[in-house]
Amino acid sequence: MSPVETLHQWISAINDHDVTRIASLMTPDSVFVDSLGNRVESARTIEAGWRSYFAICPDYWIRAESSISEGDTTLISGEAGGTIDGETWGIPAAWKAVIRDGLMLEWRVFADNKPVYEILARRRH
């Protein structure tokens, strides 16, 4: 699979909330970096993280609007959103995808997740 095909499959799997397919598209040493710079390493740990996130935000979606690639690295810009505890949110977002041998090696998120953090903070009260 080409890097572009992998990326399309990856985004489709996220939007379908198909954690099994997401996991099948990762290298064993895959890395996920969230918008705060927190790193999660290994496909198994990242898979568990996706399951937990979809439990909190069951209709999470991303929309890629533009991208630029160089070698195995693609930068994507667009939007992300979903619903948490009945509150809908949406934000501009960007992602860095590094694809090695047809599999996702790194998925890095760039976004101001303040709306998400505010919803989660209300959950604690």
In order along its 125 residues, the chain shows pLDDT tens digits of 888 899 999 999 999 999 999 999 999 999 999 999 999 999 999 999 999 999 999 999 999 999 999 999 999 999 999 999 999 999 999 999 999 999 999 999 999 999 999 999 998 66
Using alpha carbons, select from 104, 54, 109, 108 the residue that is nearest to residue 82: 54
Q: What structural domains does the chain harbor?
A: 3-123 (3.10.450.50)
Using alpha carbons, select from 109, 113, 121 the residue that is nearest to residue 82: 113
Using alpha carbons, select from 66, 70, 69, 68 the residue that is nearest to residue 79: 66
CA distance 67 to 89: 23
Q: Are 108 and 41 in contact (CB under 8 A)?
A: no
The pTM (predicted TM-score) of the whole model is 0.93
